[in-house]
Structure 1
Amino acid sequence: MRIALIDSGIGMLSTAAALRAARPDADLYLSMDPDHMPWGPRTPEEVIGRALAGARAATRAVAEDGGRLDAVVVPCNTASVHGLDALRAEYEPGVPVIGTVPAIKPAAAAGTPIAVWSTEATTRSAYQRGLVETFASNLEVTPVACIGLAEAVESADPRRIADAVDYAAELTPPEVRGVVLGCTHYDLVGQRISEALGGRAALFTAADAVAAQTLRRIGTAEPPSARAGRVRVLASGRPAELPAAALNYPAGRSLLDGARADR
């Protein structure tokens, strides 16, 4: 089983770790784009181009290994909003393409006030407003623009992370009992977010659901084999190692044993 994950940076790690836990025999191709990150401020056309470039680089790496790609996963809300149609036009129906949607629906199921933590661009987007209107129209929903948090997580700088998390926590009303992490970078600092909120709110992320949907779309009924899957890393199409920042997070360290440079 060979699965490509496409993102600008290490926000993909939580989804990659979930896939690794569910199918330790799968080969994961982590196609990052450090030359052009972050993708959030870019135009939709630029994001589409970068997502396609990342998927094509992973496809070439799989072919070099003598295999065939089984799925393309986009563990990035920005790239999912703008790039899924283009990726599906290129890869489906032969190769399923799975995007990432903020977990507003499960967060709203409890019927209590929720907050949606996301980037500034996503907070302003019609995409997020549409999800709230569809799944949480009867609830009090607070959008929280987490200024600088994704960039702080990417840097793995504890002080920057703490400052950005504390800023967002201050904007989160005390009555909130569920917080949707609307950017996959935020998953990597979930414990720090829970602490900043005083443990009063459950966190809702998409990583496990995306991993489960990926395996459903691949459709294999076979149990995992004893073979340990490899993790290959691409940096804007080049052979690479896991970024040093990734190893600051449990999700990144969980991938280390299988990782090697794509040589």
Structure 2
Amino acid sequence: MKIALMDSGIGLLAATAAVRRLRPDADLVLSLDPDGMPWGPRTSEDLTRRALAVAEAAAARRPDALIIGCNTATVHALPALRARLEPGIPVIGTVPAIKPAAAGGGPVAIWATPATTGSPYQRGLIADFADGVHVTEVPCWGLAEAVEHADEAAIAAAVAAAAALTPRDVTTVVLGCTHYELVAERIRAAVQQPGAAPLVLHGSAGAVAAQALRRLGEPPAPEAPAEGTLTVLLSGREGALPAAALHYAEGRLLPAAGPLADRR
């Protein structure tokens, strides 16, 4: 089994690690776009063009499924990617975990990029899945960029700024950008109030990985041999994981799981 994941940068690491934990025997193809990142400031049409190019580079490696490891790319490019690749390659998007977060009753904070915060897309998810729950949308200025470059000082500053905008009574935080899952515990520490019940964080990586296996009709097999290979594509060129990826536990998990390149 071969599963591809795509993003402009290392935000896909959380979903990649989740797939690796569920199926350590799966071959993985990571298709990144260092030549075109960041995708967030691009127009929808331009982002879709970049996403299609990155997806087609992954598709050339003949994966059984493709995960879009990016909320922004899912919003803008999912229909085009499915039209181009399905039914031959199932395409799984990444949606903020607002529905399971709201099921807890709230209050809920949604940490997201400034472009996503207040967007019709996110407001629609809130209306559909969090009706009656108090939800605060929190723009996280510079956090995704800081995580992408493993800039510890910038991460600390961005997390502190977003925490200051988060109401003290929230019980649940939705991590509405895949990059944020790489610093989830730092977010928890910044938002958790002394004496309050443990803060609940909701990311998307686990659900996306499980959905990919369901689309393939494959069961989880965490006990399988860790024989899965790893191929990294950088704007279509075979390469290595960006150095910043190894700053995070999710990135360090990957080289340990198998060869760094699949040249079969």
TM-score by length of structure 1 reads 0.94
Query: In the alignment, is the contact (CA less than 8 A) between 2:14 and 2:178 conserved in 1?
Result: yes
Equivalents in 2 of 1:244, 1:45: separation in Å?
A: 30
- The equivalent of 1:123 in structure 2 is 117
Deviations 1:119-173 (A, max 9, x none): 0111131100000011112011100000000000001011110000000000000
- Give me the whole-angstrom Cα distance separating, in 1, the residues matched to 2:82 and 2:259: 27
Whether the aligned pair in 2 keeps the contact of 1:149 and 1:161 (CA below 8 Å) is: yes
Report 1:133-212 matches (<5 A).
133-198=127-192, 200-212=198-210
| Percent of aligned positions that are identical | 60
What is the letter of the counterpart of residue 150 of structure 1?
Answer: A
| Contact preservation (8 Å) 1:234, 1:262 | no
Query: Which residue of the partner structure matches residue 17 of structure 1?
Result: 17
AA partner of residue 216 (structure 1): R
- Which of these residues, 77, 97, 102, is aligned with residue 103 of structure 1? 97
How many angstroms apart in 2 are the aligned matches of 1:100 and 1:10? Answer: 14
User: Could you tell me how far apart the structure 1 residues matched to 2:206 and 2:244 are?
Assistant: 22
Question: For the Cα contact (< 8 Å) 1:240–1:262, is it kept in 2?
Answer: no
Matching residue of 2:63: 69
Contact residue 104 and residue 136 of structure 1 kept, 8 A = yes
Structure 1 residue aligned with 2:32: 32
SS in 2 for 1:34: coil
Matched pairs, number: 257
Residues 239 and 136 (structure 1), Cα distance of their counterparts in 2 relative to 1, 3 Å cut = same
Q: What's the CA shift for 1:208?
A: 0.2
In 1, distance between residues paired with 2:243 and 2:219?
36
- In structure 1, stretches of 5+ residues that fail to align are 63-67
**Corresponding residue number in structure 2 for 1:256:** 255
Could you say what secondary structure the match of 2:228 adopts? coil
Measured in 2, the distance between the counterparts of 1:221 and 1:194 equals 31
Q: CA deviation at 1:261?
A: 4.6
Q: Quote the offset at 1:221 in angstroms.
A: 5.0
1:236: which partner in 2?
235
Report the RMSD for the aligned CA atoms in angstroms: 1.5
- Contact in 1 for aligned 2:213/2:219 (Cα 8 Å): no
Deviation at 1:198, TM superposition (A): 2.5
**2:29 counterpart SS class:** strand
The question of 1:55 aligning with 2:55 is answered yes
Which region of structure 1 is more displaced relative to structure 2, 111-120 or 250-259?
A: 250-259
Kindly indicate whether the alpha-carbon contact (under 8 Å) linking 1:75 and 1:100 is maintained by their aligned counterparts in 2: yes
What CA deviation, in whole Å up to 9, does each residue of 1:3-41 have, x standing for no partner? 110100000000000000000011110000011111011
